[in-house]
């Protein structure tokens, strides 16, 4: 089989894990390449969920499945432990694994006074976060769904999430947990300045438009943690991307079992 190995080598312990992984792959006659070509069977993400998100950005619409080997902490996406690498590689060679697809957010950022210019395009497997930048003051975000005003969020920020992203930033902001195969999007306010501003789930065939106002004159947009600064008046249009990310999972390792383990339910 042909693999692309993706990760960071700054941490010496992770470099050692990468060396061990390369040895395991070569022992099985596998090919490791640096190029994401059409004949690559899988991408192996070596790190935590953050590394997995970067691997997903690299894979994009190619459809190449991603294996997440966890050298990080929580690991909802990267859930194969380093102790399981050899066993799981054997399972892959035997075809004893599952591929589960995850929806992706497609975001177009329209800059003010640049109506003729092409929008900036962002993609996110977890969430797009619109947050205040360097001011203690809240920001104001008008949210429209299919052209109809939903509400104006006055808060520290707003998260638009995929089901996969429901267990990321949104969870710490009080959002609900959503099964990753659900056809929905989630909007969660960050520190809203009104107690009745609750998270809301909508079907993912809708289009969300956000118009942001900030006293400081600018704000941050982060797609899966990759952030950029934009001026007030910038408009964001979000919808489901036309492609999905394929995630390789161990057979029998269901999302519910992962949830129980990572959330320490029942302990």
Compute the distance between CA of residue 48 and CA of residue 186 in angstroms, rounded to an integer.
23
User: Is 90 assigned a catalytic role?
Assistant: no
Q: What angle do CA 147, 150, 156 make, to 5 degrees?
A: 120
Compute the distance between CA of residue 218 and CA of residue 143 in angstroms, rounded to an integer.
17
**Helical H segments across the chain, by residue range:** 12-27, 49-59, 85-94, 169-172, 255-262
The residue from 49, 79, 204, 224 that is catalytic is 49
Compute the distance between CA of residue 234 and CA of residue 216 in angstroms, rounded to an integer.
14
3-state secondary structure of 219: strand
Exposure on the CB side of residue 182, measured as CA atoms within 13 A: 18
Q: Which residues are catalytic, by number?
A: 49
């Amino acid at each position: 089989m042909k693999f692309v190995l993706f990760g960071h080598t700054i941490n010496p312990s992770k470099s050692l894990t990468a060396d061990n992984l390369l040895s395991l792959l070569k022992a099985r006659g596998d090919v490791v390449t640096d190029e994401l070509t059409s004949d690559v069977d899988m991408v192996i993400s070596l790190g935590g969920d953050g590394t997995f998100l970067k691997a997903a950005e690299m894979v994009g619409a190619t459809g190449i499945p991603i294996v997440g080997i966890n050298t990080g902490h929580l690991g909802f996406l990267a859930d194969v432990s380093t102790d399981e690498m050899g066993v799981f590689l054997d399972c892959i060679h035997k075809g004893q694994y599952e591929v589960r697809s995850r929806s992706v957010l497609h975001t177009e950022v329209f800059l003010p006074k640049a109506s003729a210019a092409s929008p900036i395009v962002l993609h996110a497997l977890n969430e797009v976060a619109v947050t205040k930048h360097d001011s203690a003051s809240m920001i104001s975000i008008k949210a429209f769904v299919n052209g109809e005003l939903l509400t104006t969020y006055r808060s520290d920020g707003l998260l638009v999430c995929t089901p996969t992203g429901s267990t990321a930033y949104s969870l710490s902001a009080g959002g609900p947990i959503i099964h990753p195969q659900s056809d929905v999007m989630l909007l969660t306010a960050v520190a809203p300045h009104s107690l009745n501003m609750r998270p809301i789930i909508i079907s993912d065939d809708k289009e969300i438009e956000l118009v942001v106002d900030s006293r400081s004159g600018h704000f941050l947009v982060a797609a899966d943690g990759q952030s950029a600064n934009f001026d007030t008046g910038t408009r964001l249009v979000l919808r489901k991307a036309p492609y999905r990310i394929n995630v390789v999972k161990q057979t029998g390792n269901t999302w519910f079992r992962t949830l129980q383990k990572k959330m320490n339910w029942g302990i």
